[in-house]
């Protein structure tokens, strides 16, 4: 594990297609909201900013998946994203992508690289 890695949560906090974990990352322009989710047994992390207009996506804290648990959905305009790539497949920003973060899982925890 790299010295600069930051623990986000325990691996058990993320269920496949379930509630995500929100956290903040620090950038030169200030803090940005981000999230991690589990899909198909793997963890994925993105900035919490819809590719359409840059607003936060979850309708309640950590609620990013649709009812099927197969797609990430922006609560404002319904942009629908593939959880494993962040690519928008439906809605006003079709073809655009969420900003993906480097996330990895080790020793029963989820980390931001």
Domain boundaries, the chain: 6-112
pLDDT at 13 over 60: yes
What are the start-end ranges of the E strands in 1-113? Answer: 6-10, 21-27, 30-39, 42-47, 72-73, 80-81, 88-90, 100-101, 103-106, 109-112
pLDDT of amino acid 21: 99
pLDDT of amino acid 4: 86
> What pTM value is reported for the model?
0.94
Predicted confidence (pLDDT) per residue in 46-79, tens digit: 999 999 999 999 999 999 999 999 999 999 999 9
Any idea which architecture 6-112 has in CATH? 3-layer Sandwich (2.102)
pLDDT at 1 over 60: no
Confirm if 104 and 113 have CB atoms less than 8 A apart: yes
pLDDT at 2 over 50: no
């Amino acid at each position: 594990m790299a010295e600069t890695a930051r623990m986000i949560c325990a691996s058990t906090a993320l269920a496949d297609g379930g509630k995500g974990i929100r956290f903040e990352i620090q950038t030169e322009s200030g803090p940005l909201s981000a999230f991690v989710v589990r899909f198909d047994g793997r963890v994925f992390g993105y900035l919490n900013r819809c590719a359409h207009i840059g607003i936060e996506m979850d309708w309640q804290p950590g609620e990013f998946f649709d009812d099927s648990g197969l797609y990430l959905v922006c609560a404002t305009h319904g942009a629908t994203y593939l959880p494993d790539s962040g690519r928008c497949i439906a809605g006003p920003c079709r073809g655009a992508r969420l900003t993906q973060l480097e996330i990895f899982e080790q020793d029963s925890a989820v980390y931001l690289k």
